[in-house]
Structure 1
Amino acid sequence: MSNSATDRATIPQTLWAARGRHTGPAPEDVVRRTLRRHRESGDIDDFTEPPASQDAARRVFEARWRAAGTVTVRARLALVPITGRSQGHEWRLVAEAECPWDESWPSPATLFWPEGGSSGGDDGSWDHHATVTGVRFRQVNPLPADDKEMRRRLRAAAREAWCVNVVVHEAMTPDERGRLPLVRLLPPGLRHRMVEHRAAPHQLRAVNWALKDLGVEVPRGGAVLLPPDPAPKDYDGREHRVRNVFLDGSEPAELIAALRHFVALPPPLPRDAEEALTDLRENWTLMTPQEELERQRQLVAMYAEALDAMTKSRDLYKKAAEQALEALSAYRDVPAPVLPQQQRSASRTPGALQQLTRTFERLKFTTKGLRYPAPAPDGPPSGSPGGTDETDIADGTDRSS
């Protein structure tokens, strides 16, 4: 079990949330009939059934009313078919008020679902726990006789719970009044947010063994509120333990005080409850003309802000492009820079050129001093009698002697 609640949104005090399972047929018809009856009686201002775009089998209902005559409450209920071993539909109900929720306000569950016996059309199909089989909201839920099954049930009930789970130990076998559920004695705003688990007198040791992993224990003849999973920061289970719960039909004042303290905490918002709250806030359709006008004004302001941001971005892009073109033009007008290696080569060029010039001059003078024999004319060969060497004549030297 994880007791960490980091990086999780907390439940706002303006929110009322509950989740359950409807086991009967056609729950959408039950919700429609209930909402129509409450609209006719004035309990709600209006309701609608917006289309669910993502899932064709999903049904969504919205309703609005004024709690205490002045506080606007918006509520949204979603019905999702359950596939697998369980039957029926899971329902998720979130209601948000304009101010922190008051426990004296009517339970939103009773505005979407019927209550009050068969005369109100309540067949008891809607108050089943969403994930734990055999557990219901408006009834006493005896803990299983098997210790391991008891442990599994309590752990499953506490995990990602939308409701408050209370374990009550019977100090002695109660009479007929004591066997009635305690939820009927709670303020309306706390009803349908509490699930009562009841331990028989002989199950005290077994139930505390089952609660050991959760870090709490129930006193003999008392009650304890199970910590949520994950638990809120600085959660102290001792503050949510009740020493005595008298099962005689009287109001359980100490238990109600513990419930109020528990509900006032900022516990982590379950992930699916966070999705339901986001859906309520962002996809709400049941608006008054004034709200619709305000929404359109907000959309116009949002579009104007987006257009202004786009205009500023365009101007910045244009300015950056102009600066880039100016830099490119200036770069083309400036001669190419001389690299250091080229500078060193240029510094050595005059001396090398002079040395090369002197070398060519020496070669020129050497070439002028050379004398090559002229080709002999037709006649006697050179050195023969009567022959004269033209070279010698040219030099003015007689080499015949």
Structure 2
Amino acid sequence: MSNSATDRATIPQTLWAARGRHPGPAAEDVVRRTLGRHKESGDIDDFAEPPAPDDSPERIFEARWRAGGTVTVRARLTLVPRAGRPEGQEWTLVAEAERPWDDAWPSPATLFWPEAGPAEGAEGAWDHHPTIAGLRFRQVNALPEDDKETRRRLKDAARESWCVHVVVHEAMTPDEQGRLPLARLLPPGLRHRVMEHRAAPQQFRAVNWALKDLGVEVPRGGAVLLPPDPAPADYDGREHSVRTVFLDGAEPAGLVAALRHFVALPRPLPRGAGEALADLRENWTLTTLQEELDRQRELVAMYADALEAMTKSRDLYREAAEQAHQALAALRDAPAPAPLPQQQRSGAKAPAALQQLTRTFERLRLTAKGPRPAPVPDGSPEAPGAPGTDGAGAVEPG
């Protein structure tokens, strides 16, 4: 794992982000039907399906709703076909609220996807992990019996920072109630951002051997959250370790507290989340009338500033041109200077009007092209009129 988090922006507290995989052939139809049902019931204000970029296989869905009845949430889900696979699509979901996210608000995942359980047909199978085969959000993911495979899975999970990975150790073989996933007992805002890995009683030593590289360990009969990658400089894994987790159907208060502390950390944005958030902010199409009016006002103000800058630039050029005309007129009206001896012509000074015209044109040239180049020293081979050249300033032999 890398030990620096300075090269990536941190996750805004107003953001809810997750990604996963739907293995079925018609994920966009599932999303479309689910959004339609939520609009009819009033759970969301509206939704849209903006066009994807040209020649892109993506399918994009937008939805907006008011969390808690007052806080506007804008969300964008993107579906991308899996490369080389005839069926299945990966999905990315980002939702941004007007104020920091409250985990008591509904999960955005259940507003785009049906709430049917994992075993209830293809429509409810949207909760697969996007890259690690066999993992699902809403079920217990038993760790492999092979120690090396366990180590490999946990290291792969730690690199995947879109969700929070929790390792739970069973102090003893649980009953039927204890074998149910803990995700169902979590607050809605955390439920679909947590991946539960379960170690059997006899795997205690093996799982801690696998966690050694990550710098954390799970207590016997407790739980531990895998650290983010890269981890913040002040990250302390002990703050995200729960000594005891009772698998009896009761709310796991200690685990919920650790999860809330974890998601409030200034963690780095997962790879790809920054681009997804930028798409949500910059390419949003589901605007209200007031939002569209505010956007047009911002455009008018921007154009007004640009016009004012162009007007000032035009006035400066006009002033410089008037000075140039005045200098030309003064040069025409000035009497011709008396002829000087041939040997004194090279040192003669230009008339004042000519100097003024030269300075004016020099200012015009500097305004248009930038700083003037350094002058060539007198007497150099490149200087016109230097002795030994064919310039106009050469002195003819007597």
| Common topology (TM > 0.5) | yes
Between the aligned partners of 1:228 and 1:333, the Cα distance in structure 2 is: 76
Between the aligned partners of 1:102 and 1:140, the Cα distance in structure 2 is: 25
Structure 1 residues 5 and 299, CA gap change in structure 2 (3 angstroms)? same
Between the aligned partners of 2:199 and 2:226, the Cα distance in structure 1 is: 14
Flag structure 2 segments of 5+ consecutive residues without an equivalent. 332-348, 356-376, 381-386, 388-398
Asked if the contact 1:114/1:120 (under 8 Å) is kept, the reply is no
Between the aligned partners of 1:86 and 1:10, the Cα distance in structure 2 is: 36
Which residue number corresponds to residue 11 of structure 1?
11
Which residue number corresponds to residue 180 of structure 1?
180
Between the aligned partners of 1:84 and 1:280, the Cα distance in structure 2 is: 28
TM-superposed deviation, 1:308: 2.3
1:272-351 alignment, distance < 5 Å: 272-316=272-316, 333=351
Between the aligned partners of 1:44 and 1:60, the Cα distance in structure 2 is: 17
Between the aligned partners of 2:258 and 2:308, the Cα distance in structure 1 is: 53
Asked if the contact 1:57/1:80 (under 8 Å) is kept, the reply is yes
Between the aligned partners of 1:86 and 1:153, the Cα distance in structure 2 is: 26
TM-superposed deviation, 1:339: 6.8
SS in 2 for 1:211: helix
After superposing the two structures, state which structure 1 stretch, 254-263 or 325-334, moved more.
325-334
Supply the AA of the counterpart residue of 2:178: G
Q: What count of residue pairs does the alignment treat as equivalent? A: 341
Between the aligned partners of 2:322 and 2:7, the Cα distance in structure 1 is: 46
Structure 1 residues 38 and 323, CA gap change in structure 2 (3 angstroms)? same
Supply the AA of the counterpart residue of 1:264: A
Between the aligned partners of 1:118 and 1:300, the Cα distance in structure 2 is: 51
Which residue number corresponds to residue 358 of structure 1?
none
TM-superposed deviation, 1:306: 2.3
TM-superposed deviation, 1:124: 2.9
**Greater CA radius of gyration, 1 or 2?**
1
Calculate the aligned-residue CA RMSD, in Å: 2.8
Which residue number corresponds to residue 124 of structure 2?
124
Which residue number corresponds to residue 24 of structure 1?
24
Structure 1 residues 24 and 312, CA gap change in structure 2 (3 angstroms)? same
Structure 1 residues 243 and 279, CA gap change in structure 2 (3 angstroms)? same
Asked if the contact 1:76/1:94 (under 8 Å) is kept, the reply is yes
Supply the AA of the counterpart residue of 1:49: E
SS in 1 for 2:272: helix
Flag structure 1 segments of 5+ consecutive residues without an equivalent. 346-401
Between the aligned partners of 1:75 and 1:121, the Cα distance in structure 2 is: 26
Residue 191, structure 1, aligned to residue 209, structure 2: no
TM-superposed deviation, 1:324: 8.6
Structure 1 residues 12 and 320, CA gap change in structure 2 (3 angstroms)? farther
Structure 1 residues 117 and 160, CA gap change in structure 2 (3 angstroms)? closer
After superposing the two structures, state which structure 1 stretch, 119-128 or 217-226, moved more.
119-128
Asked if the contact 1:114/1:122 (under 8 Å) is kept, the reply is no
Which residue number corresponds to residue 398 of structure 1?
none
SS in 2 for 1:238: helix
Which residue number corresponds to residue 34 of structure 2?
34
Supply the AA of the counterpart residue of 1:230: P
Which residue number corresponds to residue 203 of structure 2?
203
Asked if the contact 1:114/1:121 (under 8 Å) is kept, the reply is no
Between the aligned partners of 1:21 and 1:86, the Cα distance in structure 2 is: 14
Can you list the C-alpha shifts for 1:115-173, whole angstroms capped at 9, x where unaligned?
13499976432100111111100000011112222112111112141110000011111
Asked if the contact 1:137/1:195 (under 8 Å) is kept, the reply is yes
Asked if the contact 2:24/2:122 (under 8 Å) is kept, the reply is no
